[in-house]
Amino acid sequence: MGITIEKVSKNFGEYKAINNVYLEIPSGDFTALLGPSGSGKTTLLRMIAGLENLDSGRILFNDTDYTNKAVKERRVGFVFQHYALFKHMSVFDNIAFGLKVKPRHLRPSKEEIKEKVYDLLKFIQLEHLAERYPSQVSGGQKQRIALARALAVEPDVLLLDEPFGALDAKVRQELRHWLREIHEKLKITTIFVTHDQEEALEMADTIVVMNEGKVVQTGTPEEVYRRPVNEFVYRFLGRVNEVNGRYIRPHEVSLKRAPLGESFPAKVVHVHFIGSTVRIQLTRLDEDILFEAELNEEKYREIGPIAKGEFVYAQFTKLVDFDFQQKVKPLPQKESVL
Ligand SMILES: Nc1ncnc2c1ncn2[C@@H]1O[C@H](COP(=O)(O)OP(=O)(O)OP(=O)(O)O)[C@@H](O)[C@H]1O
């Protein structure tokens, strides 16, 4: 199911929560809505679900206007961070819920429901938990069950609002892979809200970067990361050093023991080992600027152990200048289209 968001706006009082958004989500795509808190991601998702009215614009599902259709007419499945499971129902009954509440003429038989729920439990690899209650399963399991519940009614569109937000880093990582695999199998058009750039870059086919109720850029993870249209996207997608109005990512800073090319001396302030990455804070001696370098294992091995207080030579090889870019190549003014 392809989705078109056409010039959609939504105000809360004076506040423009969604400001003239245009977006096309192709059928079968895994799209991440990425942006800081308050940028309008949840509001946009709720409008696609039919849970929030539009002030203006249209929402089309496969070219048919769904703007005024009710939630239950939309065949959407949701998984929200706080969309808790029904506490008083077993895992089985939670998953079966959407099927059991269907109108009589559409409702599958008891046997069909049982078979379907067990298929889904097998699919999410939690068959052994069918008789448990939500309080007896882990947070990660709860979100898998919530996904099975959403899938039970065979939605055309899957909407996920920070579904892993409340989980610890390791479980979140596992569920990212798991969800991506599920998407590969089912190919349901999926829209995933997150404020975590790593999560969006890792999972999505398409990233829609939002800020202040607007779409700032859409593209593949590689496009938005390598060709950000402005400073906001560049900053939002990763760590950044700002050097006199220009920018460089820490992993693009090169460090050497001896002077080379346009390198400058710098003093090591802190060294952090983060898994296989070494993050080093330095001060530039000639300009007294604090900056950060990030080395992978290989680069760190080349330069050798670095300790606080040592002096090294650093080079900013790829400074990005957005003012300059805008002067030579104006940003596209037209509405963004995937
Ligand atoms: N029902 C409402 N009434 C008034 N203001 C609202 C309402 N819902 C959302 N807003 C405001 O609209 C803006 C966008 O909210 P939204 O929840 O869409 O942002 P978000 O990008 O999803 O943020 P977060 O990541 O924090 O959830 C925010 O400033 C929010 O306070």
* The pLDDT of residue 325: 60
Q: Does 46 contact ligand 1 (Cβ within 6 A)?
A: no
* The pLDDT of residue 336: 41
Instruction: Give 256's contacts (C-beta < 8 A, 6+ positions apart).
Output: 263, 303, 312, 313, 314, 315
The residue nearest atom 12 of ligand 1, judged by CA position, is: 17
The residue nearest atom 2 of ligand 1, judged by CA position, is: 12
* The pLDDT of residue 337: 40
ipTM of the complex: 0.92
User: Cα(61)–Cα(87) distance, rounded to whole angstroms?
Assistant: 33
The residue nearest atom 18 of ligand 1, judged by CA position, is: 40
Q: Give the residues of the chain that fall short of pLDDT 70.
A: 82-83, 324-338
User: Cα(198)–Cα(261) distance, rounded to whole angstroms?
Assistant: 33
* The pLDDT of residue 324: 57
What does the pLDDT look like over 107-132, one tens digit per residue? 888 999 999 999 999 988 899 999 99
**CA 21 to ligand 1 center in whole angstroms:** 15
**CA 19 to ligand 1 center in whole angstroms:** 13
CA angle 88, 116, 160 (to 5 degrees): 65
Strand partners, 270: 281
* The pLDDT of residue 6: 96
Question: Ligand 1 pocket check: which of 43, 45, 55 to mutate, most ligand atoms within 8 Å of Cβ?
Answer: 43
User: Cα(94)–Cα(135) distance, rounded to whole angstroms?
Assistant: 13
**CA 160 to ligand 1 center in whole angstroms:** 16
For residue 3, give both structure tokens. Answer: 């989705």
Query: What strands, in cross-sheet order, belong to the sheet with 264-274?
Result: 253-256, 311-316, 264-274, 277-284, 290-295
* The pLDDT of residue 83: 62
* The pLDDT of residue 61: 95
